[in-house]
Structure 1
Amino acid sequence: MSAVEDRLSELGLTVPELVPPVAAYVPVVRDGNLVFTSGQLPMVSGALAATGKVGAEVDADTAKGLAETCALNAIAAIKSEVGDLDKVAQVVKVVGFVASDPSFTGQPGVINGASELLVKAFGDRGVHARSAVGVAALPLDAPVEVEVIVSVAD
């Protein structure tokens, strides 16, 4: 087990199985030292953990936890490509999408769930650039979607 997985274990988390794509794409692509995940939904055991708009059917605290689940699924995608998570040299960029009620403006706080988990898992290598975007709808009526770009050392 990697040091990253040890840190996750201390948080009571394990790297889940790779979430299969819901359409015509692959979950992860590597180009040189960069690894790009596809958008990860808050899937747990093959099903969405919640559905609906943040600020309406889903509260911000729940959505923040769902963003953490998305990040954990992104970690699983990265692991499927690189094998050992300790090869991750840097989390470079996180993009988070929040299916938002029109009056909801707390997208950055929601996506903090993903960002905070990545820092806990990777330490200083988990500090990253980020965008947090409110959108009208996400696939399968998911409240949150997160994609991650990392650089890896060989």
Structure 2
Amino acid sequence: MSTPEERLAELGLTLPEVVKPLAAYVPAVRTGNLIYSSGQVPMVDGKLGVTGKVGAEVDADQAKELARVCALNALAAVASAAGGLSEIVRIVKVVGFVASAPDFTGQPQVINGASELFGEVFGDAGRHARSAVGVAVLPLDAPVEVEVIAEVR
């Protein structure tokens, strides 16, 4: 079976630099064999390219792709605390936040962008418990935010 790094490469993806914290926190914390990532917004090269509410300024398909970017950023944070991507044994829990227009109810489908990426990278070890929550606003007016709990070696 191929490594998570090889599967990322097969997807045409690379692990980005860890996103610098926006406030007084760290990107990830390890306790025992678990690593908790801070919430990750869809930053690319230090910039948030899309802002607004899903179901208004941002459509659900675009938000699903942004959730995938959040997941990749979360993997970078977890891998940095674990000593590498291959040190991740499984994705245990994902919490996704979707800045939602008042009548938008597709939060689970948006957060599938993150869940599907974890499955593609880790196979069965990427299957996880999950919450998908609609919120009024996220930091920097980001449409989506994802946090992860991962088991590591």
Provide TM-score, normalisation by structure 1. 0.97
Aligned to 1:9: 9
Give yes or no for contact 1:54–1:98 (8 Å, CA) kept in 2: yes
Structure 1 residue 72 corresponds to structure 2 residue 55: no
Q: 1:88 deviation in Å?
A: 1.2
**Structure 1 residues not aligned, in runs of 5+:** none
Give the percent of matched residue pairs that are identical in Structure 1 and Structure 2: 69
Give yes or no for contact 2:107–2:132 (8 Å, CA) kept in 1: yes
Aligned to 2:126: 126
Give yes or no for contact 2:55–2:104 (8 Å, CA) kept in 1: yes
Partner Cα separation in structure 2 for residue 22 and residue 35 of structure 1: 19
Q: 1:83 deviation in Å?
A: 1.6
Aligned to 2:105: 105
Displaced runs of 4+ in structure 1, greater than 4 A?
none
Give yes or no for contact 1:49–1:66 (8 Å, CA) kept in 2: no
The alignment's C-alpha RMSD in Å is: 0.9
Aligned length: 152
1:36-86 Cα distance to aligned partner (Å, 9 max, x none) = 000000000000131000000000000000000000000100111112212
User: What secondary structure sits across from 2:147 in the alignment?
Assistant: strand
**Structure 2 residues not aligned, in runs of 5+:** none
User: What secondary structure sits across from 2:149 in the alignment?
Assistant: strand
Q: 1:6 deviation in Å?
A: 0.9
